Amino acid sequence: MSDSTTTSGGLDIEKIRADFPALHQDIHGHPLVYLDNAATTQKPWAVIDAVRSFYENDCSNVHRGVHALSQRATVAFESSRTAIKAFLGARDSREIIFTRSTTEAINLVAHSFVRPRLKPGDEVLITEMEHHSNIVPWQLLCDEKDAVLRVAPMGDDGKLILEQFEEMISERTRIVSVVHVSNALGTVNPVEEIIRLARDKGVPVLIDGAQAVPHMKVDVSALDCDFYAFSSHKAYGPTGIGALYGKRQHLLEMTPYQSGGDMILSVTFDRTTFNEPPHRFEAGTPNIEGAIGLAKALQYIETIGIDTVQAHERSLLAHATEAILEVPGVRLIGAPQHRAGALSFVMEGIHPHDIGTILDQEGVAVRAGHHCAQPIMQHYHLSATVRASFGLYNRVDEIDALIKGLHSVREVFG
Ligand code: 7TS
């Protein structure tokens, strides 16, 4: 086990923590232990300062002004696109579309790519471990088009059953949409294999990377996925901004999702011609400061090194998995070989909300609930779990605080 100042990954944890102002506060008389990173992460000064600096110095709209401020804003906004392109290993920054979030990115693919291709009886293939944002858009679309939503099952270990997934890819499948890392279980899906299996049958693949991008190297070119979605706020960036990577050949064929300003080339009352991708999919004034903050967040991760982050978080997860099982009555949900970011558990006879509330009294922030993944809860016949999720600034002694808190829970409930 490593001490609390440096870790096995060689990361200077105290230096990192100094970058995150929100971590340094007391909650109910205890130092904050923030273990709800899968919901959203705290933000480093680099991000906060970049957002503030935009408003202090460069505040202007993008893509429309000849004046200096607008040009500065446009350059900063478009540089963020380039930064995301590099971070995700995309070949062309025109393959990066700014969205509000992962949710909007998935909806965009559903509406602009899949909807025109979906005929009655066609199929959309997802898995049992999706977040609601990778279920509901497909359900609505399938209802509208008389298509079929198929769900590849997972085992009780929280792992996708790959053989069944493979069998479920049919000649009617129009898209496979799969979560990279489950937010409720922490399962890391074998996306390379999933993409290969779908590709062998000529089916395009969307990966929901909301819980992967902050924790591991993602290279969309190496993966050869068709689409990849993520949210800034789970990767130390601002809320209200995310991105969709999409292969250029697809984007060129896709019709707009939303319409209005900035996504057009010309408009008359008879006819509108659309702008090129990515602008075609970015109607209206975008979240300019969000994009700028997101680029800073990615730069922040890159400065530490995503492999260093991954090694650090792996050691935290390993410690947490071991320590938590020593608390009487605790049961971990799922036991995937590859886990990232999060651990879900329940305690015999105690409701997860009560556990979350008592932990909060000790300054420990976790999420208790269904984690917007109710089908996962249904799989385990649970209404809710407690989830502890980790970020690059968490320390081993924070896991110890969680464990201590769980012992208090046991005492309160006898
Ligand atoms: N996909 C996954 C795997 C997620 O974990 C989330 C958010 C989303 C999609 C949607 O992301 P958004 O940024 O569009 O909201 N997950 C969670 C969570 O686990 N707790 O709060 C939000």
pLDDT digits (tens, 9 = 90+) for 273-329: 999 999 999 999 999 999 999 999 999 999 999 999 999 999 999 999 999 999 999
Establish whether 372 is a catalytic residue: yes
Assess whether pLDDT exceeds 60 at residue 7. Answer: no
- Percent of the chain predicted with pLDDT > 90: 94
| pLDDT recorded at residue 6 | 55
CATH number for the segment(s) 13-39+306-412:
3.90.1150.10
pLDDT band (50, 70, 90) for residue 374: very high
- Give the closest residue (by CA) to ligand 1 atom 18: 39
Gap from CA of 322 to ligand 1 centroid (Å): 26
Q: pLDDT per residue over 245-264, tens digit each?
A: 999 999 999 999 999 988 88
Q: Where are the domains of the chain?
A: 13-39+306-412, 48-303
| pLDDT recorded at residue 390 | 98
Ligand 1 atom closest to Cα of 179? Answer: 3
Please enumerate in sequence order all residues whose Cβ is within 8 A of that of 305, keeping only pairs 6 or more positions apart, or say none.
Answer: none
For ligand 1, whether the C-beta of 37 sits within 6 Å is no
For ligand 1, whether the C-beta of 133 sits within 6 Å is yes
Ligand 1 atom closest to Cα of 342? Answer: 19
Q: What is the mean pLDDT of the chain?
A: 96
Please enumerate in sequence order all residues whose Cβ is within 8 A of that of 100, keeping only pairs 6 or more positions apart, or say none.
Answer: 240, 241, 242, 287
Among 94, 18, 96, CA closest to 294: 96
Among 251, 205, 253, 211, CA closest to 228: 205
CATH architecture group of domain 48-303: 3-Layer(aba) Sandwich (3.40)
For ligand 1, whether the C-beta of 339 sits within 6 Å is no
| pLDDT recorded at residue 65 | 79
Q: pLDDT per residue over 67-114, tens digit each?
A: 999 999 999 999 999 999 999 999 999 999 999 999 999 999 999 999
Q: Does residue 332 contact residue 352 with C-beta atoms inside 8 Å?
A: no
Assess whether pLDDT exceeds 50 at residue 1. Answer: no
Q: What is the mean pLDDT of residues 148-153?
A: 98
Ligand 1 atom closest to Cα of 234? Answer: 13
For ligand 1, whether the C-beta of 212 sits within 6 Å is no
Give the least confident one: 113-127, 153-167, 251-265. Answer: 251-265
For ligand 1, whether the C-beta of 102 sits within 6 Å is yes
Gap from CA of 117 to ligand 1 centroid (Å): 27
pLDDT band (50, 70, 90) for residue 270: very high
